[in-house]
Amino acid sequence: MRPPSLQILSVESTFGNNGWHCELLDGRDVLRASFSAHHTKIQLHAQSYTPINALAVVGECPLALSAAHLPYVLELLCRANKYLNLGSFEFDLERQFLVFRITNIFEKERYDADIVTSMVHCAIAELDRITPYAAIVQRTPRDLLKDLDLQRLLERDDLIPPVPGDEDDLP
């Protein structure tokens, strides 16, 4: 079994400095962690690709879909991806999981803690943001699916979780 790389150890250090519990998978440059977000619980893993100094952060949560609902959720994710600058949504068909993936290539072997932290925050926030929209599609009766306007659904801002710290700014 090979020892963890300097890259994944720098990610583990960043998690620790943020107070995030994680576990390093034996023999692999992968960390696993769990987060409770506003709308859902997120399983997250961070994987270092040491030969190219890249880090992928992947957040996921389960979403069981019927065959009738699947095309609508896939379209929802495609529409949401059009507005993203960083990362992308996916759907794991075999496991029925919503997925958000973000990757960065670093200059140095020790990954920048601020960038790693931002990647984790981004994965959690984006997956937490899309979950209620996907749940609406999931709960829509089959006979009403073709009437569902996915673009208008994505424009609803009442489903977006509050930004941490903004709750204090409310009147």
The string of pLDDT tens digits covering residues 80-101 is 999 999 999 999 999 999 999 9
Average pLDDT over residues 57-73: 97
Average pLDDT score, the chain: 93
Domain ranges of the chain: 6-161
Residue whose structure tokens are 């999981």: 97
Q: What is the per-residue pLDDT across 2-58, written as a single tens digit (0 to 9) for each?
A: 788 999 999 999 999 999 999 999 889 999 999 999 989 999 999 999 999 999 999
Spatial contact of 154 and 79, defined as CB atoms under 8 Å apart: yes
Residue whose structure tokens are 């949401």: 80
Residue 121: the pLDDT is 96
What would be the CATH architecture of the domain defined by 6-161? 2-Layer Sandwich (3.30)
Average pLDDT over residues 104-131: 94
Residue 135: strand, helix, or coil? helix
Q: In DSSP terms, which residues pair with 103 in a beta bridge?
A: 56
Average pLDDT over residues 130-140: 97
pLDDT bin (cut points 50, 70, 90) of residue 170 is: very low
Q: In DSSP terms, which residues pair with 16 in a beta bridge?
A: none
What's CA 114's distance to the chain center, in Å?
17
Cα 141–144–149 angle (5° rounding)? 120
- Rg (C-alpha) for the chain, rounded Å, is 18
Q: What is the C-alpha separation between 41 and 39, in angstroms, rounded?
A: 7
Would the pTM count as exceeding 0.95?
Answer: no
Residue 169: the pLDDT is 46
